């Protein structure tokens, strides 16, 4: 499958890895929007949050089990934001579900 994030997960395309386990991979965003900007994703190819279902939701649960470990490793004790973009209106550019973990600064309340 021609998916950028599948290629990053399998090492075909290099990334700055932050965390990896059996189900989850996390790496630094190439174009950071905050002092800490990590992308956290399931290794399984799921297109977006709009494709989550009973069959793949354990992979999404694994992402959320990994997030506190990644946040601790990135010294985000004061808090952070987790965002996933979906489709055209959500400005999703890579069609492999990923969660933006943003922090290291006081973020604004606004989402747009």
Q: Which positions are annotated as active-site residues?
A: 98
Residue 30 is a binding residue for ligand 5GP (CB under 6 A):
yes
Q: Which of 87, 82, 83 is nearest to 50 (CA)?
A: 87
Confirm or reject binding of residue 93 to ligand 5GP (CB under 6 A).
yes
Compute the radius of gyration of the chain from its Cα atoms: 13
Residue 9 binds ligand 5GP (CB under 6 A):
no
| Tokens encoding 95 | 């069609």
> Which has the closest alpha carbon to 38: 76, 86, 91?
76
Confirm or reject binding of residue 91 to ligand 5GP (CB under 6 A). Answer: yes
Which residues are near ligand 5GP by CB under 6 A?
4, 15, 27-31, 39, 85, 91-94
């Amino acid at each position: 499958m021609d998916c950028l994030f599948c290629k990053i997960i399998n090492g075909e395309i290099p990334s700055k890895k932050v965390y990896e386990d059996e189900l989850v991979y996390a790496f630094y965003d190439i174009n950071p929007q905050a002092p800490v900007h990590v992308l956290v994703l399931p290794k399984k190819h799921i297109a977006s949050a709009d494709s989550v279902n009973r069959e793949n939701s354990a992979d999404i649960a694994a992402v959320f089990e990994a997030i506190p470990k990644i946040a601790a490793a990135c010294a985000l004790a004061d808090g952070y934001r987790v965002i996933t973009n979906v489709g055209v209106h959500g400005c999703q550019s890579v069609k492999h579900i990923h969660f933006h973990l943003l922090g290291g600064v006081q973020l604004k309340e606004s989402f747009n």
